[in-house]
Amino acid sequence: MLLVTLWSSLLALTAQGVAQDYGTSPPVYPSPPSTGIGWEVAFTQAQAFVSNLTLEEKAQLVTGTEGPCVGNIGGIPRVGFDGLCLQDGPLAIRQATYASVFPAGLTAAASWDRGLIYLRGLFLGAEFKGKGSHVALGPVVGPLGRSAYGGRGWESFSPDPYLTGVAAENTIWGMQRSGVQACLKHYIGNEQETHRNPALSPNGTTIEAVSSNIDDRTMHELYLWPFAHGVRAGTASIMCSYNRLNGSYGCQNSKTLNGLLKTELGFQGYVMSDWQATHAGVHAIKAGLDMDMPGSIGGLQNTSFFGGNVTRAIKNGTLDQDRLDDMARRIMTPYFYLNQNEYPPVDKTEPTLNSNYPPYDHPFTFGASNVDVRNGHGQLIRDIAAAGTVLLKNTNDALPLKAPKTLGVFGNDAGDLVNGQYFLTSAFQNPFGYEYGTLPIAGGSGTGRLSYLVSPLEALKARAALDGTLVQYILNNNLLTQPSGLGAIVPVPEVCLVFLKSWASEGSDRASLEADWDSSAVVSSVAAYCNNTVVITHSAGLNVMPWANNPNVTAILAAHLPGQESGNAIVDILYGTVNPSGKLPYTIALSESDYRFSDITNSTKLLETEDPNAWQSNFTEGLLIDYRHFDYYNKSVLYEFGFGLSYTTFDMFDLSTDMPNTTINPLPDSLPIAPGGNPSLWQIACTVNVTVMNTGDVAGAAVPQLYLSFPPIPSPMPTPLNVLRGFDKIWLEPSESQTASFLLTRRDLSYWNVETQEWVIPIGAFEVTVGFSSRDLWLKGQLTVTERD
Ligand SMILES: *[C@@H]1O[C@H](CO)[C@@H](O)[C@H](O)[C@H]1NC(C)=O
Ligand SMILES: *[C@@H]1O[C@H](CO)[C@@H](O)[C@H](O)[C@H]1NC(C)=O
Ligand SMILES: *[C@@H]1O[C@H](CO)[C@@H](O)[C@H](O)[C@H]1NC(C)=O
Ligand SMILES: *[C@@H]1O[C@H](CO)[C@@H](O)[C@H](O)[C@H]1NC(C)=O
Ligand SMILES: *[C@@H]1O[C@H](CO)[C@@H](O)[C@H](O)[C@H]1NC(C)=O
Ligand SMILES: *[C@@H]1O[C@H](CO)[C@@H](O)[C@H](O)[C@H]1NC(C)=O
Ligand SMILES: *[C@@H]1O[C@H](CO)[C@@H](O)[C@H](O)[C@H]1NC(C)=O
Ligand SMILES: *[C@@H]1O[C@H](CO)[C@@H](O)[C@H](O)[C@H]1NC(C)=O
Ligand SMILES: *[C@@H]1O[C@H](CO)[C@@H](O)[C@H](O)[C@H]1NC(C)=O
Ligand SMILES: *[C@@H]1O[C@H](CO)[C@@H](O)[C@H](O)[C@H]1NC(C)=O
Ligand SMILES: *[C@@H]1O[C@H](CO)[C@@H](O)[C@H](O)[C@H]1NC(C)=O
Ligand SMILES: CC(=O)N[C@H]1CO[C@H](CO)[C@@H](O)[C@@H]1O
């Protein structure tokens, strides 16, 4: 959602402007009506419900209004409908009291653990429901992570679409199992915060939001890929995004909404706009937008592109009644499917935590105040935080710690918060966030209100006391970077822990990929003094690590954004109570300049232009983002995608596949559309097995990963050398071995053929490699596909 209303003065928007120089979005009309596939009973209920509504009530049902929640659909007491309460966000019910703050999507992805990701969704969903919120605005798969600088990458999972797709579907299954509607966002191409919304040039011209210009193959194989998983998992809703695509706004682009989403992927739920991302009424509705959020234009009450305009458009004949009925049915079907006609009322306290104050135009029913929905979720939060911590370096078994006599703790990320426990407000509108206090989660609408936070220092003191360890600490980075800054530390600690952080927040992209607050100088200072320095990063995205090869830096842990149990989780890892098993869901390159292949479009000078289409982002790198880029150009990296150490060691052997040479129909069978697209794409084409063994002394989890290399593909675009197409997380006791099975679907083996507009399995030899990271590949096999006569 939009933070504050940065451009509330902008009302007149020339939304249909299309730059002739760029690819234009082809028109796809009419908007395909939902038939409730997979939700048949609920669809019938929705049909009956909608048939009973007046025109005005239907218009109300598709239009956001003032209310207690971040987004509100007013109740219709005449038919016993209490309305809908929509709340942020992807890692917590954002502004609520007595609610849990979970690890971020990025952390969940780094766990590579389907089970934990599912439980995260399940528990999150339960908290939303407990507070009376019908729709949780998450999970996030857009941004996917085209740019390492993206300010919201941490809300999402990974720049790899396969990993992100798996994480999204498990999150959605979990959330909706708890009875809350998921809203998968932001659809689509929302890969940067910079210029995400229109702005006025000094000359008074409206410069339209950045246009993500994405070719069709890249759209399908990268950015749309995880949305297909989400639709198949039955996400109730999808949020369209601020940016334009090929010159046409995300919330009125008939190609992406009517075409890709509602026809090709067979989406049966409803599309809601991001907050103030609606730029037209009838035009957007015809292009596939079903719900306008927050409903008003630029925050002005009683004006809407929907609302009264929908009623008028039906009456004057510019909009068909059928389309409005479809919108209303799309909204009500998941509501009935999840039995939300029996639902807890909205927590009475929440209104005071919102910017929307009563009285409201429509009635809302409130329940008790300050309902505690945490329900013991702290243990899962701690488990995921530890599982999403990646051990990158561990020289001479520096970790786990073995009852050190002395311990040093350094850096402004180690201690408790000093500026409050909620990171939404303008107090934190600084490119580096707040200076003192650990970073458990990042900022913006994807944040959460912490009901408590265990800081690393607090948890370390408690743990160190068990061994009688002397704990000394300096949390002031300014002091640490001065020549004799560590003078107070006596004696030199046996081990020095340095905590670094990198902030990010919705609304802006990251300015640097190094950790903030002079982090590299802090590491140098501590390492110059202490030859056993362990660096821990808390980061809203990836960090480059210029200090990684300093010989005195003996261990590195990327702890991502762990949520409220931060300190406990890092102590679990540091002391070996939990054996690290997280793997990088992105690549750490050698230097920041290595990421310049997909720059964010960023030109403040453009504000002086009068060209409304000045902000263009050409996705010229195509499929080659993150490891696909580094592999294709054969570039060395510091730590590759999928990498992460353990306190034990693993072996891998016995690759087998059930179809070494297979005769296959290269084209999927034409079956009726179902949510997720042509069902035959999801059929298992072949199975690959490997055996993994724990060859070390302690129990731990391995993450075998399967990468696929395609035979030559008839496409003018570069095809990645290797793509992730399978992973598993296997817990093994010492000497134990287990088989990992990777099920490859037809879609996994296909590329998107832009001429035939089909997924096609290329004829020829696929190379299958399995290993412990994208560059640590142990076993190789081949699948040869021959055409069926
Ligand atoms: C984007 O691509 C178009 C051609 O499709 C080209 O005219 C334009 O200059 C490119 N814009 C940028 C910013 O590279
Ligand atoms: C954008 O334009 C490219 C190039 O013409 C085309 O391949 C792609 O399908 C278009 N995408 C949309 C969403 O219009
Ligand atoms: C329409 O609403 C009225 C009033 O609540 C109710 O009695 C009636 O059963 C409803 N009809 C349908 C078809 O839902
Ligand atoms: C909006 O409309 C309602 C009734 O339709 C009215 O009570 C209220 O004063 C209006 N608000 C504004 C800001 O015009
Ligand atoms: C209808 O939409 C226009 C913008 O297209 C807006 O200015 C007007 O206020 C809207 N009318 C209502 C009743 O919301
Ligand atoms: C019908 O109403 C819609 C919504 O207010 C408006 O955009 C459109 O211009 C109107 N058309 C006519 C022919 O009056
Ligand atoms: C965008 O440009 C501004 C002004 O040059 C600069 O301060 C900022 O760091 C840039 N942001 C990114 C993400 O490159
Ligand atoms: C490593 O630590 C020792 C002190 O044990 C110090 O003398 C040396 O300069 C340090 N090296 C670096 C690269 O900081
Ligand atoms: C590391 O530092 C400790 C304490 O200062 C010292 O005793 C030890 O010799 C150093 N080790 C190396 C390899 O420099
Ligand atoms: C893979 O392992 C599963 C059970 O672990 C087994 O059922 C299947 O036959 C195996 N497939 C191959 C190709 O080895
Ligand atoms: C698969 O086919 C290839 C090429 O046709 C052949 O070289 C290979 O021996 C075959 N493998 C098996 C297991 O049949
Ligand atoms: C195209 C155009 O007229 N640009 C002008 C906009 O206004 C700035 C000053 O505010 C001028 O420098 C530009 O030349």
Segment among 337-346, 463-472, 525-534, 658-667 with least mean pLDDT: 658-667
CB count within 10 Å of CB 16 equals 13
Mutate to test the pocket of ligand 7, among 602, 608, 615 (most ligand atoms within 8 A of CB): 602
- pLDDT at residue 363, rounded to an integer: 79
Residue that the structure tokens 């340095």 belong to: 498
Segment among 91-105, 328-342, 417-431, 728-742 with least mean pLDDT: 417-431
Q: Which of 156, 179, 181, 176 is nearest to 167 (CA)?
A: 156
657: pLDDT strictly greater than 50: yes
620-646 average pLDDT score: 98
467-482 average pLDDT score: 98
700-729 average pLDDT score: 97
476-501 average pLDDT score: 96
How deeply is 396 buried, as exposed, middle or buried, from its count of CB atoms within 10 A (0-12, 13-18, 19+)?
exposed
Lining residues, ligand 2, CB within 6 Å? 23, 25, 215-216, 245-246, 255-256
- pLDDT at residue 352, rounded to an integer: 64
pLDDT per residue as tens digits for the range 122-179 = 999 999 999 999 999 999 999 999 999 999 999 999 999 999 999 999 999 999 999 9
Task: Considering only residues 595 and 24, tell me which one the structure prediction assigns the higher pLDDT.
Answer: 595
Residue 19 pLDDT level (bands cut at 50, 70, 90): very low
365-385 average pLDDT score: 96
Lining residues, ligand 10, CB within 6 Å? 656-658, 687, 689, 739, 741
- pLDDT at residue 18, rounded to an integer: 30
Closest ligand 3 atom, residue 52 Cα: 1
- Give residue 318 CA to ligand 6 midpoint distance, Å: 6
Mutate to test the pocket of ligand 1, among 616, 617, 619, 621 (most ligand atoms within 8 A of CB): 616
Mutate to test the pocket of ligand 3, among 44, 52, 54, 332 (most ligand atoms within 8 A of CB): 52
R_g over Cα of the chain: 26
- pLDDT at residue 14, rounded to an integer: 29
- pLDDT at residue 12, rounded to an integer: 27
- Give residue 531 CA to ligand 8 midpoint distance, Å: 6
Regarding the beta carbon of 303 and ligand 5, being less than 6 Å apart is answered yes
**b/e per residue 150-160 (b: at least 16 CB within 10 A):** bbbbbbbbbbb
- pLDDT at residue 664, rounded to an integer: 79
- pLDDT at residue 10, rounded to an integer: 28
- Three-class DSSP category at 265: coil
- Three-class DSSP category at 601: coil
pLDDT per residue as tens digits for the range 681-690 = 999 999 999 9
442: pLDDT strictly greater than 50: yes
- Give residue 250 CA to ligand 2 midpoint distance, Å: 13
353: pLDDT strictly greater than 90: no
- The partner residues of 745 in beta bridges, in order of sequence, read 684
Q: Which of 81, 28, 39, 87 is nearest to 270 (CA)?
A: 39
Q: C-alpha angle with apex 700: 567 to 558, nearest 5 degrees? A: 40
477: pLDDT strictly greater than 80: yes
- Give residue 780 CA to ligand 11 midpoint distance, Å: 14
Separation of alpha carbons 531 and 550, rounded Å: 10
398-409 average pLDDT score: 98
- pLDDT at residue 609, rounded to an integer: 82
Regarding the beta carbon of 77 and ligand 3, being less than 6 Å apart is answered no
- Give residue 251 CA to ligand 2 midpoint distance, Å: 16
Q: C-alpha angle with apex 70: 65 to 72, nearest 5 degrees? A: 30
Six token digits for residue 42: 């609920």
- pLDDT at residue 364, rounded to an integer: 81
- pLDDT at residue 5, rounded to an integer: 29
Which domains does the chain carry?
28-353 (3.20.20.300), 389-580 (3.40.50.1700)
- The partner residues of 300 in beta bridges, in order of sequence, read 297
CB count within 10 Å of CB 54 equals 11
- pLDDT at residue 425, rounded to an integer: 62
417: pLDDT strictly greater than 80: yes
- pLDDT at residue 7, rounded to an integer: 28
- pLDDT at residue 20, rounded to an integer: 31
- Which residues are CB-contacts of 446 (< 8 A; sequence separation ≥ 6)? 88, 89, 90, 91, 94, 104, 138, 140, 152, 154, 155, 506
How deeply is 432 buried, as exposed, middle or buried, from its count of CB atoms within 10 A (0-12, 13-18, 19+)?
middle
463-492 average pLDDT score: 96
Residue 604 pLDDT level (bands cut at 50, 70, 90): confident
Q: What are the phi and psi torsion angles at 731 (to 5°)?
A: -85, 130
Segment among 375-379, 428-432, 675-679 with least mean pLDDT: 428-432
- Give residue 313 CA to ligand 5 midpoint distance, Å: 11
In this structure, the residue with its CA closest to atom 8 of ligand 7 is 511
485-495 average pLDDT score: 96
9: pLDDT strictly greater than 60: no
Cα 766 from chain centroid (whole Å): 30
Residue 193 pLDDT level (bands cut at 50, 70, 90): very high
66: pLDDT strictly greater than 70: yes
pLDDT per residue as tens digits for the range 732-784 = 999 999 999 999 999 999 999 999 999 999 999 999 999 999 999 999 999 99
Cα 669 from chain centroid (whole Å): 32
400: pLDDT strictly greater than 70: yes
Regarding the beta carbon of 660 and ligand 11, being less than 6 Å apart is answered yes
Query: Which of these is catalytic: 82, 113, 274, 626?
Result: 274
Q: Which of 560, 569, 558 is nearest to 378 (CA)?
A: 569
Helices 378-387 + 566-574 axis angle, to 10: 50
C-beta of residue 373 within 8 angstroms of C-beta of residue 127: yes
Q: What are the phi and psi torsion angles at 3 (to 5°)?
A: -85, 125
Separation of alpha carbons 692 and 735, rounded Å: 10
355: pLDDT strictly greater than 70: no
Identify each DSSP E strand in 573-673 by its residue range: 588-589, 616-618, 637-639, 650-657, 661-664
176-186 average pLDDT score: 98
Task: Considering only residues 4 and 770, tell me which one the structure prediction assigns the higher pLDDT.
Answer: 770
Separation of alpha carbons 673 and 676, rounded Å: 8
Active site residue 274: yes
Q: What share of the chain is helix, strand, coil (3-state, %, to 5)?
A: 25, 20, 55
- pLDDT at residue 431, rounded to an integer: 81
Separation of alpha carbons 350 and 372, rounded Å: 12
Six token digits for residue 238: 């999808």
Regarding the beta carbon of 52 and ligand 3, being less than 6 Å apart is answered yes
- Which residues are CB-contacts of 461 (< 8 A; sequence separation ≥ 6)? 471
Residue 6 pLDDT level (bands cut at 50, 70, 90): very low
In this structure, the residue with its CA closest to atom 3 of ligand 10 is 741
Report the chain's mean pLDDT, rounded to a whole number: 93
Mutate to test the pocket of ligand 9, among 496, 531, 550, 552 (most ligand atoms within 8 A of CB): 531
Question: What is each CA distance from 451 to 90, 91, 564, 711, in whole angstroms?
Answer: 17, 14, 8, 53
Question: What is each CA distance from 16 to 19, 145, 246, 284, 611, in whole angstroms?
Answer: 10, 27, 11, 10, 14
Residue 428 pLDDT level (bands cut at 50, 70, 90): low
Segment among 2-6, 221-225, 359-363, 563-567 with least mean pLDDT: 2-6
